[in-house]
């Protein structure tokens, strides 16, 4: 089933996608492909076109995210001469170029709201006009869109039209990250290696079994695109033509160290992530306050028990007042740290922000 669609792999996830491709390819209904960047969404779109019975007709891919907002409309609809400054001649847009074929709009979530309205109109009425023109042109294309965003969340935020969302998502195909499709790694790697060997006109390219095992242990944050880049790069830079385990292991280590400096994808909405950060901050503050309180209570117990206290708090206060003890502890820590607030906070077992609040509270500068 997978091979019949021209797809490479043997994972259950890819088989599920191929099954939907076969079911809907012959129709002209819109398809929305979801999944992370580099997962192979265009590969699915091309499979839909190839199985549509119109494989000889145009397939035009447009990455919306790569277009400046001001030229998206002209790119899609085309424009007449003089439609705007710099429009020295008529331009035929993607909608006309793809007549009888398929348009693949990648990163559809990046399309501006004003263009969303016009795209919806084309999908509903199948007619459009070039920018600066009045003549209506019949739209004869099949639209396949793709996104790495959660468009339902974008709709809730008002960043994406709900009516367009449902118009695009007549059929939805989800393509998970390569890390969730481990069974696709070896077939894809060997396919890319064969492609590269043909381009270089050599039969010496080879992947060591140890390297292939490491391929399955690696997370591939760049997905299929990263796998292809790795094969291409090693095929050219390896003197022996072999992709060795030791070389790929170094690649894994280098990329792991770089990845540790990058934000981690949590698949949470921004609101949920913000709530999590607030919760963590409150927990940290709570722990810091508990630590300071335990320190104060310890000093108080020493004072009440008549035991000697190195800080001299017993000599400072005839009766015990928690705030006065706290103030004295902060003063003592600052004094012992020679005014270094970071060091003082560390001595008290609290964060710098908590210390700053205490300094403001007690007027200590």
Whether domain 3-176 has CATH 3.40.50.300: yes
- Looking at CATH, the fold of the domain delimited by 180-259 is given as Helicase, Ruva Protein; domain 3 (1.10.8)
Please determine whether the domains at 3-176 and 180-259 fall in the same fold group of CATH: no
Contact 325, 315 (CB under 8 A): no
The CA dihedral of 82, 86, 90, 94, to the nearest 10 degrees, is -130
For residues 159 and 236, give the distance between their C-alpha atoms in angstroms, rounded to a whole number: 43
d(CA 248, CA 245): 5
Q: Which two tokens stand for residue 94?
A: 């993607």
pLDDT (tens place) for every residue of the chain, 365 residues total: 799 999 999 999 999 999 999 999 999 899 999 999 999 999 999 999 999 988 889 999 999 999 888 889 999 998 888 888 778 888 899 999 999 999 999 999 999 999 999 999 999 999 988 988 888 999 889 999 999 999 999 999 999 999 999 999 999 999 999 999 999 999 999 999 999 999 989 888 999 999 999 999 999 999 999 999 999 999 888 878 899 999 999 998 888 755 544 454 444 455 555 444 444 454 445 455 555 555 565 555 555 555 544 444 444 444 445 577 678 778 877 887 788 888 877 777 677 777 888 888 888 76
Going across the sheet that includes 31-34, the strands are: 59-63, 102-106, 142-147, 31-34, 171-174
Statement: the pTM of the whole predicted model exceeds 0.85: no
- Parse the chain into domains and list their residue ranges: 3-176, 180-259, 270-361
């Amino acid at each position: 089933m997978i091979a019949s669609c021209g797809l490479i792999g043997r994972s259950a996830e890819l088989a599920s996608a191929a099954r939907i491709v076969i079911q809907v390819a012959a129709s002209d209904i819109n398809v929305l492909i979801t999944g992370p960047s580099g997962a192979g969404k265009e590969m699915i779109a091309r499979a839909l076109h190839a199985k549509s019975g119109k494989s000889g007709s145009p397939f035009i891919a447009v990455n919306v995210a790569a277009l400046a907002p001001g030229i998206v409309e002209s790119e899609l609809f085309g424009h007449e001469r003089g439609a705007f400054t710099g429009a020295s001649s008529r331009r035929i847009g993607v909608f006309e170029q793809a007549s009888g074929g398929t348009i693949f709009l990648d990163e559809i979530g990046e399309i501006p709201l004003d263009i969303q309205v016009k795209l919806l109109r084309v999908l509903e009425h199948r007619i459009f006009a070039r920018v600066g023109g009045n003549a209506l042109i019949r739209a004869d294309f099949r639209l396949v869109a793709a996104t790495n965003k959660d468009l339902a969340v974008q709709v809730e935020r008002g960043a994406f039209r709900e009516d367009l969302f449902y118009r695009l998502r007549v059929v939805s195909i989800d393509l998970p990250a390569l890390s969730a499709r481990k069974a696709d790694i070896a077939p894809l790697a060997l396919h890319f290696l064969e492609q590269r060997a043909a381009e270089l006109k050599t039969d010496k390219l080879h992947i060591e079994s140890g390297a292939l095992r490491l391929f399955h242990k690696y997370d591939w944050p760049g997905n299929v695109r990263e796998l292809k880049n790795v094969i291409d790069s090693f095929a050219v830079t390896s003197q022996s033509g072999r992709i060795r385990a030791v070389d790929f292991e170094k690649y894994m280590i280098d990329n792991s160290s770089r990845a540790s400096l990058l934000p981690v994808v949590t698949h949470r909405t921004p609101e949920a992530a913000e709530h999590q950060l607030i919760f963590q901050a409150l927990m940290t503050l709570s722990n810091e306050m508990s630590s300071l309180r335990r320190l104060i209570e310890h000093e108080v117990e020493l004072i009440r028990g008549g035991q000697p206290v190195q800080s001299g708090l017993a000599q400072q206060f005839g009766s015990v007042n928690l705030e006065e003890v706290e103030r004295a502890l902060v003063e003592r820590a600052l004094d012992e740290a020679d005014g270094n607030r970071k060091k003082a906070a560390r001595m008290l077992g609290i964060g710098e922000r908590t210390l700053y609040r205490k300094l403001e509270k007690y007027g200590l500068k």
